[in-house]
Amino acid sequence: MKEKGILLLYLVPTILIGVIVPSITVYYSIHGLNPLMGTIIVVSALIVAAGLGVVQSGLGFAHASGIVGGNEKDDESLRVLRATVRSIADEEDDINTILREIRDVLKGETK
């Protein structure tokens, strides 16, 4: 049910452009708007709505399937992974410092 709601949310602007704009244009064409101008407006609104519908339905499906959008569980896992990498890097710096000290001590003994 959630996926259908997300998809519908993405498609609302498309539905509005594809239905409301032609409806208002036909109404005004009946009441005095030039029919040629009304036809141009209706056709262009339908073309824009079709293009927008393709893009937004793709975005809606991607968001509903989890490809796009934040997943809180994945975000938490990513934060834990970053913290782990930072702690490993800190430990590596400590180990490098100790190894340099050992190297300096050994160099001093060999001279």
- 3 state SS for the chain: CHHHHHHHHHHHHHHHHHHHHHHHHHHHHHCCCCHHHHHHHHHHHHHHHHHHHHHHHHHHHHHHHCCCCCCHHHHHHHHHHHHHHHHHHHHHHHHHHHHHHHHHHHHHHHC
* Tokens matching residue 40: 């141009």
Domain definitions of the chain by residue range? 1-69, 71-111
Question: How does pLDDT run across 52-111, given as a tens digit for each residue?
Answer: 888 888 877 777 666 665 566 677 888 888 999 999 999 999 999 999 999 888 888 765
Q: With 60 as the cut, is the pLDDT of residue 1 above it?
A: no
CB 12 within 8 Å of CB 66 = no
What pLDDT score does 23 carry? 92
* Tokens matching residue 29: 């064409």
CB 41 within 8 Å of CB 25 = yes
Region 2-23: mean pLDDT is 81
